[in-house]
Amino acid sequence: MNRLQDKVAIITGSGRGIGRETALLFAHEGAKVVVSDIDSALGEQTATEIRRAGGTAIFVRADVSQRADAQLLAETTAKEFGRIDILVNNAGILRDATLLKMTEEQFDQVISVNLKGVFNCTQAVAPIMIQQGKGKIINVSSVVALYGNFGQTNYVAAKAGVIGMTKVWARELGRKGICVNAVCPGFISTEMVKSVPEKILEAMKEKVPLGRLGEPREVAQLFLFLASDEANYINGAVISIDGGITV
Ligand code: NAP
């Protein structure tokens, strides 16, 4: 039995990385997937791959920092599939710099995508889930939201904010049958992490008790569990998936 049979799932930032793996896995488990990304070529690729494998997927281009795009994403999904069961707020960017060097633009960009983007998409999707009386929202935070990180004032502020919003929405939307949870990945082997200098990457690996980076698929498996009916009593949780780095 497929774990997400006929559920309709939106995954933001699913052109590559963790989002892409999530889209492929959800489709494999029977979900109708709305692949969304700011990059149309990458997003179309993910959706095409799902359809070639016999799954159901459409691509909707959306820059999550734009409220109109988030609205269009929710409306297009509802029009195409008639409902929205799952929203994975996964799109995110890095614009690292130490406090003294960080520009206002770097700060604003990361807050717009990683924090406001989550607000925009959730606000657009929530009315539809409320009407259904059911839904799952998975917000992608990061372990750095829990312990801070050198050079990431903007990113840590946004990801800590995502945890805060998750707890508010778990309270506000829980009564309407909607579960809202946050996931904090550690260091996962994606393009995002490949931009980190080799020396720092090696130091990061050494800090992880499991001695390696995580794989996007491993994070997608956790999203799958949270999105499935197996996790119907999990609400407002903040779950780390980090090889033990926070121990
Ligand atoms: P990734 O490989 O960079 O993928 C992120 C995707 O989001 C890209 O396809 C990107 O498009 C897209 N995107 C960027 N800005 C967007 C916007 N404004 N609207 C819609 N889509 C946008 O990143 P990842 O490593 O898979 O990370 C996925 C999520 O996990 C992020 O929220 C990240 O912060 C979080 N996370 C990752 C790690 C890690 O170690 N990788 C650890 C903790 C948390 P472009 O290709 O055009 O940029």
Per residue in 175-217, pLDDT (tens digit) is: 999 999 999 999 999 998 887 888 988 988 999 999 999 999 9
Per residue in 132-147, pLDDT (tens digit) is: 999 999 999 999 999 9
Active-site entry in 26, 119, 155, 187: 155
Which pLDDT value is given to residue 193? 83
Which pLDDT value is given to residue 194? 81
Residue 206 domain-assigned?
A: no
Residue 135 domain-assigned?
A: yes
Residue nearest to atom 7 of ligand 1 (CA): 13
Residue 209 domain-assigned?
A: no
Determine the structural domain holding residue 180 and report its residue range: 8-184+215-241
Residue 179 domain-assigned?
A: yes
Residue nearest to atom 10 of ligand 1 (CA): 13
Residue 177 domain-assigned?
A: yes
Q: Which residues contact 25 (CB under 8 A, 6 or more apart)?
A: 217, 220, 221, 223, 224
Q: Is the CB of 25 under 6 A from ligand 1?
A: no
Atom in ligand 1 nearest the alpha carbon of residue 43? 9
Instruction: Give the mean pLDDT per block of 10 residues along the chain (247 residues).
Output: 96 98 98 98 98 98 99 98 98 97 99 99 98 98 97 98 99 98 97 85 92 97 98 98 95
Residue 194 domain-assigned?
A: no
Residue 170 domain-assigned?
A: yes
Q: What is the CATH number of the domain that holds 42?
A: 3.40.50.720
Q: Is the CB of 19 under 6 A from ligand 1?
A: yes
Query: The tokens 């997937």 sit on which residue?
Result: 33
- What's the domain count of the chain? 1
pTM recorded for the entire structure: 0.98
Write the secondary structure of the chain as one string of H (helix), E (strand) and C (coil): CCCCCCCEEEEECCCCHHHHHHHHHHHHCCCEEEEEECCHHHHHHHHHHHHHCCCEEEEEECCCCCHHHHHHHHHHHHHHHCCCCEEEECCCCCCCECCCCCCHHHHHHHHHHHHHHHHHHHHHHHHHHHHHCCEEEEEECCCHHHHCCCCEHHHHHHHHHHHHHHHHHHHHHHCCCEEEEEEEECCECCHHHHCCCHHHHHHHHHHCCCCCCECHHHHHHHHHHHHCHHHCCCCCCEEEECCCCCC
How far does residue 109's CA lie from ligand 1's centre (Å)? 13
Residue 116 domain-assigned?
A: yes
